[in-house]
Amino acid sequence: MVTYIATVYAKPGHEDQVTAHYKNLEPLLADAKGFQSRKIYRAMPGTMAEEIRKRLPPEKLVGHPDGTDQGTHFIVIENWDSVEDRVAFALGAGRSKDLIEHLHNQHTHEFYEEV
């Protein structure tokens, strides 16, 4: 088994489109060779900063931006039988072309091993 993790930032106001894109892939994933499982996490922008601001005095927060201006962070974690199966799925249909317009440029995607 291999774990694939992708992280992306949705542009402000595009969170629902990014969510829909990933949710709409679920039937295709269910039929994909080697697919085992998937979890999608969507950040709640500003939640942590708001709670910290309630607890720390303003002078402690100087220089710490709230982080909400960069969009909404998504983390997708998938488990596959093999690297080859995940790559074959990714190259299968050019599905990400509809997603690109909703994302900021910064993203990551890689295979991981448990330590």
Q: What is the pLDDT of residues 6-54, one digit of tens each?
A: 999 999 999 999 999 999 999 999 999 999 999 999 999 888 888 888 8
Q: How many domains does the chain have?
A: 1
Q: CA-CA distances (angstroms) from residue 115 to 29, 73, 112?
A: 26, 24, 9
Instruction: Say if residues 3 and 114 touch (Cβ distance below 8 Å).
Output: yes
For the whole model, what pTM was predicted?
0.85
- What range defines the domain where residue 36 resides? 2-112
CA atoms within 13 A on the CB side of 85: 18
Distance CA 99, CA 79 (A): 21
Instruction: Say if residues 87 and 46 touch (Cβ distance below 8 Å).
Output: no
Distance CA 56, CA 40 (A): 31
Residue 69's pLDDT band (cuts 50, 70, 90): low
CATH number for the domain that contains residue 76? 3.30.70.100
